[in-house]
Amino acid sequence: MNDKPTKEENAFHEMRPNYDFSQARRGPIVPASPNKTRITIRIDADVLDWFRGQVHRQGGGSYQRLINEALREYMLREMEGDLESRLRRVIREELQGVRAK
Q: Which residues contact 43 (CB under 8 A, 6 or more apart)?
A: 67
User: How many percent of the chain have pLDDT more than 70?
Assistant: 94
pLDDT value for 63: 95
Q: pLDDT digit string (tens) for 63-79?
A: 999 999 999 999 988 88
Average pLDDT of the chain to the nearest whole number: 85
DSSP labels, 31-61: PPPTT---------HHHHHHHHHHHHHTTS-
Does the pLDDT of residue 39 top 80, yes or no?
yes
Mean pLDDT (whole number) for 79-95: 85
